[in-house]
Structure 1
Amino acid sequence: MAVLEITNLHVSIEEKEILKGVNMTINTGEIHAIMGPNGTGKSTLAAAIMGHPSYKVTEGTIFLDGANILDMAVDERARAGLFLGVQYPSEIAGITNAEFMRAAINARRPEEDKISVMNFIRKMDEKMAVLDMPEEMAERYLNEGFSGGEKKRNEILQLMMIEPTFAILDE
């Protein structure tokens, strides 16, 4: 069982302290919901966990399976098993959904154990069927021209394909 442990976390953005001593422990398989009005720090917490450079951790720790992730870059945190679904996903022209997801899956695998094209296609077809997504979604550019619902469904597809240890959905 993996553990994400946040202790006495203080986070500032533009010199304004937003989080003031957050503590929580999350084990794999658990679901935690953080609720509150706008401006209370929900998105700040998500951004700080993933290492967004605009958010400065001024105090506290974040450990993933006993390893301090505060010194890790965003991509290292993702490879370690963290996933962040954001409120407004960026559109990226020129990169298809399939290309993006295969690269994300392979980034978490050893160089000598990349997912084969056939296994990737099989897995993607299976997950898209579960989500009742049309096949052409795989070849569309990442979030480009997607409706709000398509973006959310695409994020769930990413979760199902990448299989992170912890998913943070900032909705």
Structure 2
Amino acid sequence: TGKSTLSSAIMGHPSYEVTQGEVLLDGVNILELDVDERAKAGLFLAMQYPSEITGVTNADFMRSAINAKREEGQEINLMQFIKKLDKQMDFLDIDKDMAQRYLNEGFSGGEKKRNEILQLMMLEPKFAILDEIDSGLDIDALKVVSK
């Protein structure tokens, strides 16, 4: 118990306040960083119940997230992004149409989990927290996520 709460607190959810201690990532206390700075430092959280974001495609979300981690002028170009996305989607056996669907909108539980793993692979974080990543998955989705 408390795994989701701990994960949310580490990631900087505004509902939680850490009153003592440190969480170090590469020697930096990430509790002193804003949420976006934590992600840029290499922290990734795959949530138990990922949010739906209407109007933002998976591909746009991931490309924006990748570029947010990079220095100005070092953004991933469209062709590099598409090549990387196709490779990771093939590895995870994800239908290419998912890239153009709105973020988690109308996704099954298995699709949401696969999408979280796809984001993880695309962003290449230093440290990932996977909150109940296998919860509610059928056997096929569990095999893909376990890869």
TM-score (norm 1): 0.76
For the pair shown, the structure with the greater C-alpha radius of gyration is 1
Residues 1-171 of structure 1 mapped to structure 2, 5 A cutoff: 40-171=1-132
CA distances 1:89-116 after superposition (whole Å, capped 9, x unpaired): 0000000000000001011111111000
Write the letter of the residue equivalent to 1:69: I
Q: CA RMSD in A?
A: 0.7
- Alpha-carbon distance between aligned partners in 2 of 1:67 and 1:85, rounded to the nearest angstrom: 21
How far has the Cα of 1:71 moved from its partner? 1.6
Shift of 1:76: 0.6
Higher relative contact order (CA 8 A, sep 6+): 2
Q: Deviations over 1:37-87 (max 9, x none)?
A: xxx311111111111111111111111111111121111100100000001
Partners of 1:44 and 1:94 in 2: how far apart?
A: 29
Higher helix share: 2
Q: Distance in 2 between matches of 1:155 and 1:56?
A: 26
Amino acid at match of 1:170: D
**SS state of the match for residue 55, structure 1?**
coil
Q: What is the letter of the counterpart of residue 128 of structure 1?
A: M
Distance 1:147 1:153 in 2: 10
- 1:169 partner amino acid: L
Aligned residues: 132
Could you tell me how far apart the structure 2 residues matched to 1:55 and 1:79 are? 20
3-state SS, counterpart of residue 95 of structure 1: strand
The structure 1 segments of at least 4 consecutive aligned residues displaced by more than 6 Å after TM superposition are none
